[in-house]
Structure 1
Amino acid sequence: MKKPASLILTALLISSCATQHATPAPEGQSAAATDALDDYEGAAEVSDPIEPLNRATFAFNDKLYSWVFTPISKTYTTVLPSPFRQGIDNVYENVKFPVRFVNSGLQGNFKRAGQELQKFGVNTFAGFGGLIKQSDRIPSLKDVPLEDSGQTLATWGMGHGPYIVLPILGPCTARETLGLVGDYALNPVNWTFALGDHADKWAWIPSTGNTVRSLPDQLSKYNDSKANAIDPYTAVKSTYIQNRNNAAKE
């Protein structure tokens, strides 16, 4: 029998919570005025034909994040010290190698695909299965941009399409929704759930663990994206679109 709580947690693992980079207010202009302008910067680039429904979903998600996922996140960070959490993050990110490797190749960026292959080899064999990110000690491998299926579709010329706020998952677009499906299929973390017996509790462990370990970072980015915003919905939307555009250009 499927477990609703695990379904929710598993769904959140592919969420793309927005991030925000603070910018100083121009001389003579208040920070509040700058925040108001920042809220709308980039938001108009993508159509939002179902905005009333999106806003309702956004409000639902916001409560869910605050009432359900934030307590889970706080428990996780309280129970596990930072070094342990970092090691867990490193292992999961190392396992996601196929997502980055395949999409680098699909974009025709074979140099980057080669770098991803090197990173995986170094971290797997010299980093105890990815527990230690040894690739950061190698300058050419330290800051390799992370590729995903949404960026591949953008490289192929596909536009964003309409903006969508997905239940639980949060901000997205038609293109990025397809990208999430591609990333989910390529991520080995999900294979035990997708290919295994859903009644088997062990099939849920990798994907649920990935969700829980990602909560602190995802929630932090989400909260930052709407902090001090006059209209949090528009602020999160704008931040998400800007971040996806920037990622596609890297």
Structure 2
Amino acid sequence: MTARRGVLASLMVAIVLAGCSTPGPGEAPDGIWDPQEGTNRRIHDFNRRVDERLLKDNGTGLSDGLPQGTKLAVAGFADTAGTPQTIVNQLLQLRLWRATKNTLRFALNTTVGLTVMDPASEWGLVEDTSDFGETLAVWGLPEGAYVELPLLGPSTERDATGRVVDLFTNPISYIVPAPERYLGPAANIADKLISRSEYSDTVESVLYDSADSYAQMRLIYLQNRRFELGETAPEAEEIDPMALDTSGF
């Protein structure tokens, strides 16, 4: 009962927070609303230093150091463990056919696939993820201001709220006892680290070679996220290094 109340309370908080910050007319003429840019840039600088110390120049070391089968198993387990959360969100979005397909995908991958393989994709049930940030978008709540989160990186007020709620919406966390319930989140983190290593050249070119890595990351995130949600993406534009806003540093 306490767990259910926690989920309901989180949903209510999400609804309130996601609607609390909306750009007014003329405040975001370029499609990017970033009223806390100074704070965001400081967090971005922190994230960049963490990446530089822990991950930069490792190249594809982590990715190349693991057998392909291991990487596929990590990705497969992370996907399987996260599928029930996707199903919950798709039900909340009233996307019943997608939720049904993901239920079948979960059933196949946890039985035939032993939770680490992906036979469902061979049956045409390809990976289809969702989160509570998307649920809020479907419900019509605005994305709010752009924010950069410590360690987690680019987000928006709506998606940041969704991340908090997603901590409570995976049914597995209420069914599987500890410590086994933490294997899914651990696999998800490992999968992200492997992906960071596999795409190190691209990531590092943005973080360390661009004139303004903050602006570039912000644009890339908003373009990709709005494309995923079917929303209007901001226009790409050339960055003038002489016109950068460095106040607050």
Structure-2-length-normalised TM-score = 0.69
The alpha-carbon deviation at position 226 of structure 1 amounts to 1.9
**How far apart are 1:155 and its partner, in Å?**
0.7
Q: Output one character per residue of 1:85-134: Cα deviation in whole Å (capped at 9) or x when no partner.
A: 11111011101112210111111110000000010011111112x21100
The 1:224–1:147 alpha-carbon spacing in structure 2 relative to 1, beyond 3 Å, is farther
Q: Which runs of 5+ in 1 are unaligned?
A: 1-41
Counterpart Cα distance in 1 of 2:79 and 2:181: 19
CA gap 1:218/1:175 in 2 versus in 1, 3 angstroms = farther
Matched with 2:134 is 151
Structure 1 CA distance, aligned partners of 2:204 and 2:92? 32
Identity of aligned pairs, percent? Answer: 26
| Distance in 1 between residues matched to 2:167 and 2:54, nearest whole Å | 23
Equivalent residue number for residue 185 of structure 2: 207
Q: CA deviation at 1:190?
A: 6.3
Q: Which residue of 1 aligns with 2:5?
A: none
Higher relative contact order, structure no. (Cα contacts within 8 Å, ≥ 6 residues apart): 1
The question of whether the paired residues in 1 share the 8 Å contact of 2:154 and 2:221 is answered with: yes
RMSD: 3.2
State which of 214, 218, 232 in structure 2 corresponds to 1:233.
Answer: 214
Go from structure 1 to structure 2 and tell me whether the alpha carbon gap of 1:72 and 1:229 turns closer, same or farther (over 3 Å shift). closer
1:35 maps to: none
Aligned residues: 201
Tell me, yes or no, if structure 1 residue 131 matches structure 2 residue 116: yes
Task: Choose which of 21, 44, 55 in structure 1 pairs with 2:41.
Answer: 55
Q: Which runs of 5+ in 2 are unaligned?
A: 1-27, 232-249
Cα-to-partner distance string for 1:52-91 (whole Å, 9 max, x where unaligned)? 1111111111121121145789664344212111111101
TM-score if structure 1 supplies the norm length?
0.69
Query: How many Å apart are 1:218 and its aligned residue?
Result: 4.1
Specify which structure has the higher proportion of helix: 1
Instruction: Assess, with a 3 A threshold, how the Cα gap between structure 1 residues 225 and 72 changes in structure 2: closer, same or farther.
Output: closer
Compute the displacement of 1:249 (Å): 2.5
Aligned to 1:113: 99
Note closer, same or farther for the CA distance 1:241–1:189 as it changes in structure 2 (3 Å cut): farther
> Using the alignment, how far apart are the partners of 1:189 and 1:62 within structure 2?
33
Kept in 2: contact 1:97–1:120 (CA 8 A)? yes
Q: Is the 8 A contact 1:43 1:237 kept in 2?
A: no
Q: Secondary structure at the match of 2:167?
A: helix
Contact conserved, 1:54 with 1:164, CA < 8 A, in 2? Answer: yes
Which SS does the other structure have where 1:168 is aligned?
coil
CA-to-partner distance for each residue in 1:7-40, whole Å, 9 max, x for gaps?
A: xxxxxxxxxxxxxxxxxxxxxxxxxxxxxxxxxx
**Per-residue CA distance 1:133-172 (angstroms, 9 max, x = gap):** 0011112x12x53211111100111111111111111111
1:179 to 128, 137, 162: 162
Q: CA deviation at 1:183?
A: 2.1
Q: Is the 2:88–2:170 Cα contact (8 Å) retained in structure 1?
A: no
Query: What amino acid sits opposite 1:249 in the alignment?
Result: G
Distance 1:46 1:159, change over 3 A: farther
Task: Provide the residue aligned with 1:223 in structure 2.
Answer: 203
